[in-house]
Copies of this chain bind each other. A is one copy, B any other.
Amino acid sequence: MNNEKKAVPFVVVKRLPRYYRYLGELLRQGVTRISSGELSEKMGVTASQIRQDFNCFGGFGQQGYGYNIEKLYNEIGAILGLQHGYKTIIIGAGNLGHALANHSKFEKRGFTLVGIFDKNPDLIGTTINRITVSPMEELEEFCSRHKVDIAILALPKSAIDVVVPRLVGLNIKGLWNFSYTDIEVPPHIAVENVHLSDSLMTLSYRITQTNQDGER
């Protein structure tokens, strides 16, 4: 196995979280080995795609024997950087921020929510998932004291231009952006934009295909 992890193409990286989820489920079910054929059937991906993807980071597969699930799970987690553990804050305690704060799965993946911020006086001081909503004035002091890694932006577009520049100077490593707007940050900060409408458009495509098939 090699450690040239930078060589994994991004198109493969985008598929890794899904593999990671499936392998995690198998582990919880007590399964220890799986063939690419079985994994293929479970995930609806071709076995050859799976083999190609796993070859990008050293292979693992033994012909006719299958993959060691735990090893593969840990290796994929390491490529994704999940072993680091991240301290996160949510900015915006509206409905979306609220929903994200209550999403327990993130914690399991190593993302620990340490703070929630809002500028709305009605929300400041309320508690979501055991965390008290703090005023925006405390953002800088909080991030430096808690060494926050990731800020989750559950904000409207209009607030982004004010909030993002404040975050840039705070040693934040990544922004998870739900504002549906592009943001500009220096290259040392990673950004992942969530565009829910992309997923809805994919559903529209699936509906079109499903109905065409049905009519034949």
Contact = CB atoms under 8 A, between A and B. Distances in A.
Contacts of A103: 196
Interface residues of A, number: 61
A111 B200 contact: yes
- What is the interface of chain A mostly: helix, strand, loop, or mixed? helix
Interface stretch (A29-37, A119-127, A137-145, A203-211): A203-211
Contacts of A189: 210
Given A95-B96, A95-B102, A99-B96, A16 B205 contact: yes
B204 A199 contact: no
A51 interface: no
Given A99-B96, A180-B105, A84 B200 contact: no
Contacts of A192: 199-200, 202-203, 206
A174 B198 CA distance: 15
